[in-house]
Structure 1
Amino acid sequence: MKRYNIVLVGGGSTWTPGLLQSLTKKKEEFPLARLVMYDINAKRQEVIGEFAKILFREKYPELDFEYTTDEEVAFKDVDFVFCQMRTGGYEMREKDEKIPLSLGAIGQETCGAGGFAYGMRSIRDMIELINNVRKYSPEAWILNYTNPAAIVAEAVNRAFPEDKRILNICDQPVNLLRSYGRLLGMDPYEFEPIYFGLNHFGWFTHLYDKDGNDLVPKIKEIVKERGFKPADAEQRDQSWLDTYAIVEDMLKDFPDYLPNTYLQYYYYPEYKLKKLNPDYTRANEVMNGREKRVFEECRRIAKMGTTEGSAVVHNDAHGDMIVEVAESIAHNRNKIYIIITENNGLVANVQDDAMVEVAATLGANGPRPMGVGKIGTFYKGMMEQQMAYEKLTVDAYFEGSYNKALQALTLNRTIVDAKKARKILDALIEANKEYWPELK
């Protein structure tokens, strides 16, 4: 069996240890010859890199591994690029969340004004990354987790319209599938999902088991009776438990389909705004929680020289999904995953150039997405408003247009008021001078 060369972009991420362990679990199904971790933050990556050396010495001794800040070392002759960048780090994430909150709007990492700010930062680095990868590895598959995935996918599709080896994905649908499996006491790998929407903005219409039975009605009943928890609830922070719990409310109000948890910000913006603490946001929770746990554990392992008894991984879905996607492509498995792709009739009554999120089989020739036909007026209206916001955000970036940025934020359901949108935009421009193009 062929052994693959991969590079992991964002080696200093708190999600990296879990992804590395996913690679060790899959070494028989998806064997590697070489793995390189790449990050522009050498100090941060070093902590994870030293953990990785010990992990691979114990569990993958045949693997050629290194971590680097050198682009040529990272990208030369690779088969797959796993990308999970965070431009601006947690410092800018905190601003993304707190600036909108200070001005009376939701502050969230990928939704609303926070997602707008993060998206405007991510576009530049993602385009630069793809150009660098193509310089050294023209045929590599680029599997992109970089958030906010909807805005990044729209921008990348415009910048590289002919590049068919870029795949934008998100692990939240997989987290939901695993959570449905926990709810039902079933193996989520046996599920066949039907899904439509935009990234962090979609719905499961059907969820079939291996015998062809639709499990959606049963899931709705169980959620109504017992509520909803993530598959890894015991390892989640309180904010994530709250995020899953509100699915029960969403199903009461809009019972047609199973919602992506992020829809809470768009269904209930006033309610969510009142629940958010402007002085202590999710960014603070992560920095004081997962961030500290992961880096302290990696340092402990490096000092002890063994991973025995390690508790460094807190979300297997993130790492497992991207590795399984690569395996499905490499070995032409044609397994079903939920991916982001150009619409082209998949959602029949939504414009063709929308970057939609749907189920697809994945093989050596890339995704074969599954259409869902026409959708109802409510869901079409929700999607089209959000899609317009995403497209205007990308317009604002490429055109350097203040007006397009203002239009985008005014359309976003977490803001809707143009005067508020202008205040938020001006504050975000000031905070992002080092990262955004000049908006005129």
Structure 2
Amino acid sequence: MKLAVVGGGSTYTPELVDGFARLRDTLPVGELVLVDPAAERLRLVGGLARRIFARQGRPGVVTTTSDLEAGVAGADAVLLQLRVGGQAARQQDETWPLECGCVGQETTGAGGLAKALRTVPVVLDIAERVRRASPDAWIIDFTNPVGIVTRALLQAGHKAVGLCNVAIGFQRKFAKLLDLAPAELHLDHVGLNHLTWELGVRRGGPGGADLLPELLAGHADALAADLHLPRTVLDRLGVVPSYYLRYFYAHDEVVRELGEKPSRAAEVAAMERQLLDMYGDPALDEKPELLARRGGAFYSEAAVDLAAALLGGGSPVQVVNTLNRGTLPFLADDAVIEVQAEVRGGDGSGPVPLAVPPLDPLYAGLIAHVSAYEDLALDAALRGGRERVFRALLAHPLVGQFDRAEGLTDRLLAHNKEHLAWA
């Protein structure tokens, strides 16, 4: 089996490689190709990847290349983990929205739109080249904003699935709190990428006993602290929201906090420099502890499980980003949602969402609102134009005011001219 990682020079990659090495029985990779235009990063990450494979006794071969077509040719699956513009662009995404009193964040709000505008055209170009070089390959997208990028891929007819680590992170956290094995827990995980709620925590599978009341009764304080939300929010909702919901439920508080401390982009850039120094040490043959602070926890395990299922093995039920197809009746069929799905890899049909019971309007309303924004964001990413950018910003629930949308549009275009061919 051949897998290719586009963006293989990312400091995330050793997390992924560690999973491929440890879980070789689940996903027997014969060749892993890391593809990246950044030659020095690729050299450092590729060297560590080979040492990780060797330490784990992994028989597979790790190769590196800057030639996309050569790297993905004959691949069974291609993982996308890109950051167009690098940490410098992320730094901007997290700062200029604050000038208009809005959250500065790389995947939601105005910053998330900027990232979508930069990213969608690049990903679609890569996907077309993948299709020509390896027409049967599955594309697994971990590139943010995952929902919008995955919809762009599916709309263009690619065999694509979006992946996020939020659900697997919650599964691992809940299992630890309940003193159970993670595989024993099935989450009723519903929403859009980075806009999800855990409506149930079931033991043994979709029809199992719901342990969520027990979890909240015994551990609400710890969960609320992790989410940086008051415990009363969890008590009143009776569910566990994704930590990204804090941008909606405590918007003004978050804006104040972001204005008082260094950006997350600055922290990550400093960590990346340290990590790359570590990766260059020929004695290092495992992922360093610092990588856990970089983000993307359990990404490797989620990626292995999904790739295995798509290629005919592994667990058939996964939390993925895929087409709605009537699952949430208040959304269009071609909207991309993040839910549990049966991944039918053997016959090539991919994920089929599991049934979702009717949602409380408290959640359905926000999902519909953000999904409408994503429609406009994708239109702006595909066709460009100041007015389309403005309409997407005006539609976003974290913006929603005419003057703010105007100011954010001006700033977005000014900070992203080099990445937008039409600007």
Select 1:258's aligned residue among 235, 240, 256.
240
Aligned length in residues: 415
**Residue of structure 1 equivalent to 2:374:** 390
**Residue of structure 1 equivalent to 2:216:** 220
Structure 1 segment 144-159 matched on structure 2, within 5 A: 144-159=141-156
The alignment's TM-score, normalised by the length of structure 2, stands at 0.92
Are 2:188 and 1:204 equivalent residues in the alignment?
no
1:419 CA displacement? 0.8
Question: In structure 1, how many angstroms separate the alpha carbons of the residues matched to 2:104 and 2:222?
Answer: 26
**Residue of structure 1 equivalent to 2:406:** 422
Is the CA contact 1:103–1:423 (under 8 Å) kept in the aligned structure 2? yes
Select 2:268's aligned residue among 239, 261, 286.
286
The alignment's TM-score, normalised by the length of structure 1, stands at 0.89
SS at match of 1:434: helix
SS at match of 1:424: helix
Q: Deviations over 1:241-265 (max 9, x none)?
A: x652327353145x14221111110
**Residue of structure 2 equivalent to 1:329:** 310
- Worse overlay, 405-414 or 310-319: 310-319
Are 2:29 and 1:26 equivalent residues in the alignment?
no
Select 1:109's aligned residue among 106, 110, 113.
106
What one-letter code is carried by the residue in structure 2 that aligns with 1:362?
Answer: V
**Residue of structure 2 equivalent to 1:71:** 68
What one-letter code is carried by the residue in structure 2 that aligns with 1:185?
Answer: D
Is the CA contact 1:246–1:264 (under 8 Å) kept in the aligned structure 2? yes
Q: Deviations over 1:213-256 (max 9, x none)?
A: 101111222333x3228xxxxxxxxxxxx652327353145x14
Are 2:174 and 1:177 equivalent residues in the alignment?
no
**Residue of structure 2 equivalent to 1:245:** 228
**Residue of structure 2 equivalent to 1:239:** none
**Residue of structure 1 equivalent to 2:255:** 273
Is the CA contact 2:24–2:58 (under 8 Å) kept in the aligned structure 1? no
Is the CA contact 2:14–2:287 (under 8 Å) kept in the aligned structure 1? no
Distance change in 2, residues 1:138/1:325 (3 Å) = same
1:437 CA displacement? 3.9
Question: In structure 2, how many angstroms separate the alpha carbons of the residues matched to 1:76 and 1:6?
Answer: 10
SS at match of 2:280: helix
Is the CA contact 2:340–2:354 (under 8 Å) kept in the aligned structure 1? yes
SS at match of 1:228: helix
SS at match of 1:8: strand
SS at match of 2:298: helix
What one-letter code is carried by the residue in structure 1 that aligns with 2:228?
Answer: A
**Residue of structure 2 equivalent to 1:193:** 187
Is the CA contact 2:51–2:286 (under 8 Å) kept in the aligned structure 1? no
Select 2:389's aligned residue among 381, 401, 405.
405
1:322 CA displacement? 0.3
Are 2:35 and 1:38 equivalent residues in the alignment?
yes
Are 2:336 and 1:358 equivalent residues in the alignment?
no
**Residue of structure 1 equivalent to 2:298:** 317
Q: Deviations over 1:7-49 (max 9, x none)?
A: 0111111210111011110122321221110012222222111
1:85 CA displacement? 0.9
Question: In structure 2, how many angstroms separate the alpha carbons of the residues matched to 1:293 and 1:184?
Answer: 35
1:363 CA displacement? 3.2
Q: Deviations over 1:33-91 (max 9, x none)?
A: 21110012222222111212222333346322211101222011111111111111101
What one-letter code is carried by the residue in structure 1 that aligns with 2:25?
Answer: E
- Name structure 2 gaps, 5 residues minimum: none
Select 2:327's aligned residue among 346, 361, 365.
346
Select 1:57's aligned residue among 46, 54, 57.
54
SS at match of 2:370: helix
**Residue of structure 2 equivalent to 1:371:** 355
Question: In structure 2, how many angstroms separate the alpha carbons of the residues matched to 1:392 and 1:75?
Answer: 31
Are 2:123 and 1:140 equivalent residues in the alignment?
no
1:349 CA displacement? 3.0
1:316 CA displacement? 4.7
Distance change in 2, residues 1:397/1:331 (3 Å) = closer
1:121 CA displacement? 0.9
Question: In structure 2, how many angstroms separate the alpha carbons of the residues matched to 1:269 and 1:395?
Answer: 26
What one-letter code is carried by the residue in structure 1 that aligns with 2:150?
Answer: A
Question: In structure 2, how many angstroms separate the alpha carbons of the residues matched to 1:21 and 1:334?
Answer: 19
Question: In structure 1, how many angstroms separate the alpha carbons of the residues matched to 2:55 and 2:17?
Answer: 13
Question: In structure 2, how many angstroms separate the alpha carbons of the residues matched to 1:180 and 1:247?
Answer: 19
Distance change in 2, residues 1:252/1:76 (3 Å) = same
- Over aligned residues, Cα RMSD in angstroms? 2.1
- Worse overlay, 40-49 or 94-103: 40-49
What one-letter code is carried by the residue in structure 1 that aligns with 2:223?
Answer: F
Question: In structure 1, how many angstroms separate the alpha carbons of the residues matched to 2:262 and 2:149?
Answer: 27
SS at match of 1:106: coil
What one-letter code is carried by the residue in structure 1 that aligns with 2:146?
Answer: A
